[in-house]
Structure 1
Amino acid sequence: MSTSRTVERARGWLLAAAAAAAAAPAGAVFTFTPLDTPREVTLQVGSPGNLVNEVRFTVNNAAVAPNPVPVTGIPSNNTPNTSPAGGVEIIVTTRMPPSVFGSDTMTLTVDSTQGLACVGGSGCGTTVIPFTTIGWTSYNTDPSGQDIQAGTFNATATQQLATYTVYTGFPWTGQSVNMRNVLVFRYDNATLYPSGTYEGRVVYTATNL
């Protein structure tokens, strides 16, 4: 079995104003290309490079009373445009050269244990809104179900979002696999939290073994 591996991490911000947290939808398209290049996996969440994009959820009186309604997140202005609009694109590219071992597995996980903590001075004290209040809708999902499906953060460190196999042995002679999902985040707004500004971060990790 192969002992080398590449791990790529990306971070994403989720912000909530006036007692809000958020969620998102996702969509993916797989592209397979024969390849004979060095082994690697790259992960992009929103903008390329080290830029961290924000998603903001604003819960106002109209969304709270008399009947609370879910609130869709709005990505920051520096987030690349997506289709559908208002989402965050996640791209995983796995490049595998020919190998006698035959295949490797890419797994995408997310760490949402931190929660959305009240920003000091905004009036909500020590309240932390769990990321379980945030979910996503999935667009253009692959029929195989190996990409990011619709779901909700579960506040654990290694929640699996996607996994697929990259075949490297005969007759494939190496592959480059590209997975793309657009996530539109949504805050369920089912619990009334103290009014204020909340901030939290989720961390995505792509690993191939």
Structure 2
Amino acid sequence: MTRSRRCQAIATTALVAAALVAAASLAPPAHAVITTVTDTGSTYGLTLRVGSPGATIDTVAFSVTGANAGLTPTAVTGTPTIDVWVMPVRPIANTTVARPVTLRVDSSIALTCQSGGCGATTIPFSKISWVATNNSNAASGDIQGGRFTAAANQSIASYDANATFCVGPLGLPCVLGVGTWTYLSRNVTATRLQFSYDNDVVYPGGNYKGTVRFTASME
């Protein structure tokens, strides 16, 4: 009989907009979220971290002022940048079978007016994009540049969590640890996201706020 478990970690990111016309800021609870499950006696773990360590909340601000709030608006870059980690843990195994790891975001609920006279106006998260740096190429499954799609289940990274394994004589599994060990580890480590607000629509002036949820899972 084959048994499987899903390991999942979740972090929430609040995105707040405030300016004469529209602006946004990203405020993630930056503490690590760790969920561990047990499968056939072995322990698996998955750590997701968005932003700074500890209980600090990082705020990324987009300020739309001056000419950007007038007839010649241009995209606005948010500051500071936000780093993302997705780190799976797997026990030593006698198999090279990998477990898929996926990082998803939920940006389905738009930013809503909080104050400043913007009424019932909302700003979709699809108006916010990012450039990724300190990352590996797309083939590795790391986060690449992109934008929120305002979907509930948008995948932004996907790779296999490989196992550390041992091969004994004649290619058989190791017995009592005798053989050749291969150490494999794949993760997303401090991939840096620089966010940008399109600023291509003139919204009523005010403060807007929304939330994005990051979810990492290992199958």
Say whether the fold is shared (TM-score over 0.5): yes
* Partner AA of 1:110 in structure 2: V
The alpha-carbon distance between structure 1 residues 2 and 69, as it changes in their structure 2 partners (threshold 3 A), is farther
Percent identity over the alignment is 38
**1: distance between equivalents of 2:164 and 2:66?**
58
Contact 2:24/2:208, CA 8 A, preserved across alignment: no
Alignment of 1:101-116 (within 5 A): 102-116=97-111
Q: How big is each residue's C-alpha offset from its partner over 1:123-178, in whole Å with a ceiling of 9 and x where there is no partner? A: 10011100000000121331225111100100011100000012226456664433
Q: Which residue of 2 aligns with 1:9?
A: 10
* Partner AA of 1:88 in structure 2: I
Unaligned runs of 5+ in 1: 25-36, 75-85
Does residue 186 (structure 1) correspond to residue 191 (structure 2)? The answer is no
Q: Aligned to 1:89, which of 70, 83, 87?
A: 83
**1: distance between equivalents of 2:52 and 2:12?**
11
Q: How big is each residue's C-alpha offset from its partner over 1:51-110, in whole Å with a ceiling of 9 and x where there is no partner? A: 443222111122133311001112xxxxxxxxxxx2000011111113356110100000
Unaligned runs of 5+ in 2: 27-41, 167-180
Name the SS for the 2:187 alignment partner. strand
- Alpha-carbon offset, residue 48 of structure 1: 2.6
Q: Which residue of 1 aligns with 2:53?
A: 48
Alignment of 1:1-209 (within 5 A): 2-18=3-19, 19-22=21-24, 38-74=43-79, 86-99=80-93, 102-119=97-114, 121-143=115-137, 144-168=139-163, 170-171=165-166, 175-180=184-189, 181-209=191-219
Contact 1:12/1:53, CA 8 A, preserved across alignment: no
* Partner AA of 1:59 in structure 2: V
Q: Which of the pair has the greater relative contact order for Cα pairs under 8 Å at 6+ separation?
A: 1
The alpha-carbon distance between structure 1 residues 95 and 162, as it changes in their structure 2 partners (threshold 3 A), is same
**2: distance between equivalents of 1:138 and 1:53?**
17
Name the SS for the 1:63 alignment partner. helix
* Aligned-residue CA RMSD (Å): 2.3
**1: distance between equivalents of 2:23 and 2:148?**
12
* TM norm structure 2: 0.76
Contact 2:140/2:159, CA 8 A, preserved across alignment: no
* Partner AA of 2:119 in structure 1: G
Q: How many residues get paired?
A: 185
The alpha-carbon distance between structure 1 residues 159 and 112, as it changes in their structure 2 partners (threshold 3 A), is same
Q: Rg: which structure is higher?
A: 2
Contact 2:111/2:122, CA 8 A, preserved across alignment: yes
- Alpha-carbon offset, residue 23 of structure 1: 8.9
Contact 1:14/1:21, CA 8 A, preserved across alignment: no
